[in-house]
A and B are shown apart, each in its own frame.
Chain A
Amino acid sequence: MKKVQPSYKTLVITVENKFGVLARVSGLFSRRGVNIKSLAVAPTDKDEFSRITVDVDIELESVSLDQIINQLEKLINVVEIRALDPSQSVERELMIVTVKAEANERDELVENLDKVGGKVLNIGTDSMMLSLVGTPSLIDDFESFLSNFGIVELQRTGRVALDAL
Chain B
Amino acid sequence: MNSEQIDGGRALIRALENEGVEVMFGLPGGAILPVYDPIIDSTIRHILVRHEQGAGHMAEGYAQATGKPGVAMVTSGPAATNIVTPLCDAYLDSIPLVVITGQVPLAAIGTDAFQECDTTGITMGVTKHNFLVKDAQDIPRIVKEAFHIATTGRPGPVLIDVPKDIVDPNNPKSELEWVDDVQMDLPGYNPEKSFDLSGVEEAIELIKNSKKPIFYIGGGILKARAAEALRELVELTGIHVVTTLMARGAFPDSHELCLGMPGMHGNYTAVTSMQKSDLLIALGARFDDRVTGKVDGFAPDARIIHVDIDPAEIGKVRRPDVAITGDCRLVIEAMVDAFKKQGTKQTDRSEWKSTISGWQERFPLEYENHEPGNRLKPQYVIEQLRDLTPEDTIVASGVGQHQMWTSQYWNFEHPYTWINSGGLGTMGFSIPAAIGAKIGNPDRMVWAVDGDGCFQMTAQELVTATVENIPIKVALLNNSYLGMVRQWQDMFYDERYSEVFLSEDVPNYKAWAESMGCVGIRVDSPEEVPEAIAEANQIEDRSVVIDFRTAPEERVYPMVPAGQDNSSIVVPPSQEGKER
Contacts and interface: CB of A to CB of B under 8 A. Distances in A.
Contacts of A67: 312, 316
Interface stretch (A16-24, A34-42, A112-120): A16-24
A78 B120 contact: no
A110 B120 CA distance: 50
Interface stretch (B97-105, B181-189, B230-238, B462-470): B181-189
Contact of B315 (A23, A27, A66): A66
B462 to A, nearest CB: 36
B549 interface: no
Contact of B124 (A16, A19, A24, A73): A24
A162 interface: no
A71 B312 contact: yes
Contacts of B188: 15-16, 75-80
B311 A73 contact: yes
B554 to A, nearest CB: 38
Contact of B311 (A48, A70, A78): A70
Interface of A: 15-16, 19-20, 23-24, 27, 31, 48-49, 66-67, 70-71, 73-80
A74 B310 contact: yes
24 contacts: A15-B188, A16-B188, A19-B132, A19-B134, A23-B121, A23-B124, A24-B124, A27-B124, A27-B125, A31-B125, A66-B315, A67-B312, A67-B316, A70-B316, A73-B311, A73-B312, A74-B312, A75-B188, A76-B128, A76-B149, A76-B186, A78-B188, A79-B187, A79-B188
Interface in B301-319: 310-312, 315-316
Given A73-B194, A76-B149, 9 more contacts: A27-B124, A31-B125, A48-B187, A49-B187, A70-B311, A70-B312, A74-B312, A76-B129, A78-B188
A150 to B, nearest CB: 40
Most B CB atoms within 10 A — which of A19, A27, A70, A78? A70
Contacts, number: 40
A73 B311 CA distance: 9
A76 to B, nearest CB: 4
Contacts of B315: 66
Contacts of A24: 124
A99 B128 CA distance: 48
Contact of A76 (B120, B121, B189): B189
Nearest to A69: B312
A21 to B, nearest CB: 9
A59 B313 CA distance: 21
B194 to A, nearest CB: 8
B187 A16 contact: yes
A8 to B, nearest CB: 23
A15 B189 CA distance: 11
Interface of B: 120-121, 124-125, 128-129, 132, 134, 149, 186-189, 194, 310-312, 315-316
Contacts of A23: 121, 124
The binding surface of chain A is classed by DSSP as: mixed
Contacts of B194: 73
Nearest to B316: A67
Contacts of B129: 75-76
A31 B128 CA distance: 15
B146 to A, nearest CB: 10
A94 to B, nearest CB: 28
Nearest to B186: A76
A98 to B, nearest CB: 33
B313 to A, nearest CB: 8
B237 to A, nearest CB: 30
A78 B315 CA distance: 21
B18 to A, nearest CB: 21
A59 to B, nearest CB: 19
Nearest to A15: B188
Contacts of A48: 187
A66 B312 CA distance: 9
A48 B186 CA distance: 11
Return the 8 tightest CB-CB contacts between A and B, nearest first: A70-B312, A79-B188, A76-B129, A76-B189, A78-B188, A71-B312, A79-B187, A77-B188
Nearest to B188: A79
Nearest to A31: B125
Nearest to A14: B188
Nearest to A75: B188
A70 B187 CA distance: 17
Contacts of B149: 76
Contacts of A19: 132, 134
Contacts of A31: 125
A18 to B, nearest CB: 10
Contacts of A15: 188
Nearest to B312: A70
Contacts of B134: 19
A74 B124 CA distance: 13
Most A CB atoms within 10 A — which of B124, B125, B129, B187? B187
